[in-house]
Amino acid sequence: YGFCFARRGTEIHAILVGHEGEVRQFVLTADAAGQPAAREVRRFDIGTISEGCAADEATDALYLGEENVGVWRYRLDPTAGAERTLVQGIARDLLVADAEGLTIIADGAARYLIGSSQGDSAFPVWRIDGAGPEYKGRFVVEDGVVDGVTGTDGLAAMGGAVGGFPEGVVVVQDDVNDVGTQNFKYIDWRVIKAALGLD
């Protein structure tokens, strides 16, 4: 249900989240023949149905979303086991069930965690490069040039110049559209920053 990559020093880690919250963390390598290999380094259970996954190696943080509970912060270090802190529980006008996808965007020295609040089709944002996650606000994607975003499951983001987006882009899955099936919407990171007053 969830998947993310992370670097820890020279290692590449892959974190997988099963439907019922089963988490498996692997170190990815190549064997003598150059074929990919994976070594499991940690396993634990979140508790119930889980989906989002995002890793921030700079703060040794692994963020996981438990759909009907909230967003958790674990350590990325596999020796930390299942120790965790609740970043945000399910709450009206903050994070409305289901808590779905998670992504991280770097903006210069600042880094932000963006979540998907499927229950009200909104996206909460936390700044995560300090001592702990700091909630900065939420945004929605309303009807305009294209239809607004509803019932989103997931999202991804990349900071810096990306094609026609000079400071970064956020891509969100849109479940219901005026015409056709689900699709994806691309959002200029500058527009989100301006809407939330981020510096």
**What is the per-residue pLDDT across 133-148, written as a single tens digit (0 to 9) for each?**
999 999 999 887 778 8
Query: Would you state the pLDDT for residue 151?
Result: 87
Whole-structure pTM value? 0.94
**pLDDT block averages, 10 residues each, the chain of length 199:** 94 96 97 95 97 95 97 97 97 95 96 96 96 96 84 93 97 84 93 94
Q: What are phi and psi of 114, to 5 degrees?
A: -115, 130
Cβ-contact 13, 55 below 8 angstroms: yes
- Distant-in-sequence, close-in-space partners of 35: CB < 8 Å, separation ≥ 6: none
Token reading at 162: 């990306």
Query: Would you state the pLDDT for residue 82?
Result: 96
Q: Report how far residue 74's alpha carbon sits from residue 21's, in angstroms, rounded to the nearest whole number.
A: 14
Q: Which residues pair with 63 in a beta bridge?
A: 54, 73
